[in-house]
Structure 1
């Protein structure tokens, strides 16, 4: 929607606006879910037989352990099967006092398959389950129910586990040959890396030196056969789960386009180098610094590489992808820049870290979570005080359907790092197969976002396009696959993900289009791509880039411009501003409006388009009838008193200084309200069922806006109810009059839209930010229950089509309040 007035007013920061309030979930009697109906005697007999056989097999396994291999606490792994509907039992399968741990959960693939959990059992606790089942068979509770019924009745069977029991990746990737060495991600239990390295050396395993460390897991790469891994599992307590290591990540590059070199020379005369210490850091195949349009922004000392033997320069092996990313990240689409005549003041510098190997190493797997962290560290060591947006369009095929991987979790951890929060921008990935017009949107919805773009804390970028004009006579008769304003043909989405996972992509930027002739599959042609810099300027200066690589570079450019224009903002705030400034194109909005409020359909479209196309003008400036407030604040979600369980501690209540007089004057006129909450979670990955006890996120934050008819005390009570509903798995409530409702609460950036009368909005003058559970609360033994959560909150009110000035009264009110405080 076009603005009625020029954007020439900075957003208003509400400083020290949040009022901390003690916050507790009201006590409520929780009725446990019904237990399965079982033939008590028959079920107990079957489980006793299964447990007995498992224990006997475990005793044999322990007795024949090779003392030259054995490390750690003697014990064994049990493979326990549960009906899928009895997932609640996962939290009851282990006992920390007995040093038992649920290490991995294998989700069912086919209809009717069971849920499988692997549990490590120390030798001294070998009879734990046997005693539980015997008590179930022989004893009753005071209420006359079988003892241990909530646990035992939910177990189908159990057996001694093997390496395959600990495997949590795509079943199709598990090796069929027991003695075939392949690369594995070995997810280690906490504090067991030294023992793993010892037994790995004894088993003659090849290990990669990189590792990624999380609160309860450490991940390393090992080359081993299934048979060797079986020996590893039988002789140690080190392994939590196993996944296949992925080959070099894939991404997609556009075709070259011929342009005149003198365009570059003319543009260079208008370019003014950056004069600040802000950067866009490109993690890719390297950047060719000798390109004349790149050199003013990229210093030699800012060209890095993961391995010195590779060098830092871009190479033909990756078709100059890093240099093409750098060109878009610095200038955007070069076509309007080249044909223009205005001076070009570069607002930030470039950094480059080469993370992709030479062609002869392209099939060697790496632990890309560690590689990503090392790459960022190289740039930070060189310029530790520099503020940067980190862009990576390198992705890998991901069958996880939104579940965290070692790579995506490492990205989350890099963003969250309390010593240095980071803004990381990732590509959603591209569809590799040939596409036709009939595939458009159908294939996009079925092809899930690539790894590591499911990371909660990163800004994930998909591609849309406005490029539909085909001028080149060579392609007469061709037509674009995607219409203007729609998703680019190759962009991936999260439509097929389970609801619990974040909305990805978060936003979409221009990624070009494909052309087709009605017979052959679509192809990228120069007219429908983004013009950028070519990595061999001695041959030509320009080429093209498309798909989510181009979109990611556009997003990094916007982030760099925000960092340069607003140097004091947090990374969480920059991410919030990009999401908050996004709007759906008319084509996207028409699809959403056609849902007629059906939230399930709307949610699927949001998982396709994210929150739309960002605009740097909206991100940086307000206008007379379109006002944005920015809050940067923090709270302590949980606390623990003595040995008691951790409890929720704080909420923040923010009073909104609305221009009530002006809104009241508008009366029944329609106005719009948008709120976006952004924060970073601390990840704790591992395939353990994602139950309350094994949550991935350290904490969650939510926002709720006071309704027009609520008193503040009633508003507080509603927030408590919303938190209780989420903790207890009750149907969510509290978002009925918002476009997305509680669906917005997925992930760690939440944005939603309300529209109504100006008079109604005038009374919606408070917004509450409150915590919900996470592993900081559920796992107090990890001693993070007193962690502090900081957040950015953006709130915008718009009176489209109105000439009423809603900006100045708010600005004046805040100035008066500040003067009184002084």
Structure 2
């Protein structure tokens, strides 16, 4: 598309400075104890657990592992000192942490190697007999936090809904194995895998060949029953957690459409395939590459399958339907228009679903990794956008915590442990089905249907749907009307309303997903309320229809391709930020979910249902005189070993005179910070949100009444010097932001805006980017503490007054100050 005023990419705006974070208020909650009696109780529990383990080994006919699994529990409504339960030097490893909602307790499973049984007994003895210099019992936080100890059984390892775990009938399960980075071998995980495979062989348990590797965890897939899982726990010292494996589900159906061949011919005469070095790679059911609307855009060697026996063609239609949207965005409008259409992106397809039978029980994270690898090996120099509308509602986490599949996507996008480039990934949020509306009604059906795996992925853009179509002209639906009004959340769209508030905002954006029809009793799909797209059997029919979060995800990928074609040197983190930064809610969405307009209630609910709203390509791809996008692409090293390292303090070019002259005219300041985390998956420490991401970043903006020096001191303890009076305790200004830090500071993208008078924004051109803790620092032994993280920050100023020029003075200041060529991107 033709861009008049390009987005302004800035350089040399950051001042790096040593960083120390402000101390956090509050802390863990531990019950008050009678030290002597509690020490005796916990010591007895430990000794009884060890005796029970010995008795099991003596009575069993199998060879037991060396070492013991113990389960530690907190008191009800209190914390457990989970990090103190692990001692790597002693070989004592924290395996998983779970919250028991029924008892309101925290439970942690710990492995004690043979010969180290006295470790916790000695801790208890010191607790009973020794005191610290402050007069508290030694090891008070650890022992005082423990309410109970017992030998860990199968339930201690089962993650997710216990009802889905196998009984006498074997089912496919994910077994998460721990491994130690202290091993000096090249593949440090092999020892754990070889040991586990040998146990599976001895017990005739079927094992899938795939594996997923994360820091300190390897995931294998087994077909096992309850007794076989118990044998694993008894004989294998590497078990960390067990989950029911997911089955992938696609959301599509073939609907009739009688469009004529001449429409296609006329459209192709107006369509120009520019063949820029940008491709959308669809991970789906394959692709009918011979379709006349698609074949000119197909990437050379770009149509593949994870398993060659599946073939590359589309066996069910969904992949080809996605392709029509990903290429044309709105095919109906393209057919009805008369002007030229320019398509910069190519299409790739990697089939990830089999053509016959049920979906195989496989590690879909591993399959996704294989699919991405196939595309990149075939066309290594292509700038690629990954798009997947295949999700699983089965055996999913309900609170928003990661799955092996979502964590794999975080690993793929962040290029963890690779030398390759980071990747931009779009995933559908998963669909609500019509029969769900008959049970609870709309929109409760959407609020109760949780985002489906792998939509929890922090780094991917998870796409939900809203409705635009409400008119039904088909006479066979004469007694039906649209369920949602135009501009409301689509009845197909799932949400994260049931998630814990510590997990990311999902979906991040909404795009057109069509609408359902109802006669007041029944709910159904409807051709008139769906989107026109390409059919996978063009010899029979040229067109089909698509709806739900699938069509929305394909549109999002199309939007990403337009941005990447316009800004080919922009990072994936930047394209992601531009799309989310451009989004806004419709008035209908606010009426649906933000009835009580407060940060803690209505706005939070709006976020969890609709994300940041509907993205606007025009706002994302270019500036206007009265609306300017400033873009910073930066990199910082958040940590040193066991401590914080640095933050960035940005001074941005600012149209101060123009803002001052506007006086009380309202101006919107919006900031979006985007970066990719490396996943640290496994239930270890998921109660502590800082253990899953490698690191976190946050932004803060100077207040109107604050000097740059005061701003630095407020954000950075290191800048406060030795003067105890110099506390840097000025207001953070959080009240001026629409969402506020409690809502926006989750996940790995943070976006918020405030509306102030122009004169109050005159001096608000200082922005801090600073780190918060993550596993890079917490797990220093993994050797990642000195790693760097890239980030993209979008800062925009906009005003409804159309006769205001904010763009020109910013460009002039940049050229005069740093002589940057804003077109060179």
1:628 match: secondary structure? strand
**Deviation of residue 142 (structure 1)?**
4.7
Q: How many residues matched?
A: 794
Deviations 1:632-669 (A, max 9, x none): 111110113xxxxx211111111121111111000011
Q: Are positions 1:343 and 2:340 aligned together?
A: yes
Q: Are positions 1:115 and 2:103 aligned together?
A: no
Report the equivalent of 1:497.
Answer: 499
**Match of residue 30, structure 2, among 31, 35, 60:** 35
Q: Which 10-residue stretch deviates more, 151-160 or 40-49?
A: 40-49
Q: Are positions 1:701 and 2:703 aligned together?
A: no
Report the equivalent of 2:43.
Answer: 48
Distance 1:548 1:391 in 2: 12
* TM-score computed with the length of structure 1 as normaliser: 0.92
Report the equivalent of 1:509.
Answer: 511
Report the equivalent of 2:535.
Answer: 534
Distance 2:820 2:100 in 1: 62
**Deviation of residue 341 (structure 1)?**
1.5
1:46-445 alignment, distance < 5 Å: 46-62=41-57, 74-110=66-102, 112-177=103-168, 180-190=169-179, 191=189, 192-253=192-253, 255-299=255-299, 301-315=301-315, 318=316, 320-360=317-357, 362-397=358-393, 398-417=396-415, 419-436=420-437, 439-445=441-447
Distance 2:253 2:401 in 1: 27
Report the equivalent of 1:657.
Answer: 653
**Deviation of residue 66 (structure 1)?**
6.9
**Deviation of residue 115 (structure 1)?**
2.0
Q: Is the 8 A contact 1:35 1:149 kept in 2?
A: no
CA 1:528–1:254: 2 relative to 1, 3 Å = farther
Q: Is the 8 A contact 1:188 1:241 kept in 2?
A: yes
Distance 2:392 2:27 in 1: 41
Distance 2:407 2:821 in 1: 43
**Deviation of residue 753 (structure 1)?**
0.7
Deviations 1:473-529 (A, max 9, x none): 222232100000000002011111111100000000000001111232x21111110
Distance 2:776 2:785 in 1: 5
Distance 2:788 2:735 in 1: 30
**Deviation of residue 196 (structure 1)?**
1.7
Distance 2:20 2:35 in 1: 40
Report the equivalent of 2:635.
Answer: 634
Distance 1:358 1:440 in 2: 34
CA 1:164–1:32: 2 relative to 1, 3 Å = closer
Distance 2:280 2:566 in 1: 14
Distance 1:601 1:722 in 2: 37
**Deviation of residue 127 (structure 1)?**
2.0
Q: Is the 8 A contact 1:261 1:540 kept in 2?
A: no
CA 1:364–1:156: 2 relative to 1, 3 Å = same
Q: Are positions 1:14 and 2:10 aligned together?
A: yes
Distance 1:648 1:115 in 2: 29
Distance 1:733 1:258 in 2: 60
1:486 match: secondary structure? coil
2:533 match: secondary structure? strand
Q: CA RMSD in A?
A: 2.4
Report the equivalent of 1:643.
Answer: none
Distance 1:745 1:490 in 2: 28
CA 1:531–1:723: 2 relative to 1, 3 Å = farther
CA 1:779–1:249: 2 relative to 1, 3 Å = same
Distance 1:733 1:156 in 2: 39
Report the equivalent of 1:479.
Answer: 481
Distance 2:154 2:43 in 1: 24
Distance 1:114 1:31 in 2: 19
Q: Are positions 1:553 and 2:554 aligned together?
A: yes
CA 1:519–1:86: 2 relative to 1, 3 Å = closer
- Structure 2 unaligned runs (5+)? 180-188, 721-728
**Deviation of residue 606 (structure 1)?**
1.0
Q: Are positions 1:811 and 2:807 aligned together?
A: no
Distance 1:449 1:735 in 2: 29
Distance 1:703 1:506 in 2: 19
1:277 match: secondary structure? strand
CA 1:391–1:217: 2 relative to 1, 3 Å = same
Distance 2:331 2:605 in 1: 34
Report the equivalent of 2:566.
Answer: 565
Report the equivalent of 1:3.
Answer: none
Deviations 1:403-423 (A, max 9, x none): 011000000000000522000
CA 1:694–1:509: 2 relative to 1, 3 Å = closer
Deviations 1:136-186 (A, max 9, x none): 334444554443332222212111112332111211212233xx3221101
- Structure 1 unaligned runs (5+)? 1-5, 641-645, 725-729
CA 1:820–1:223: 2 relative to 1, 3 Å = closer
1:736 match: secondary structure? helix
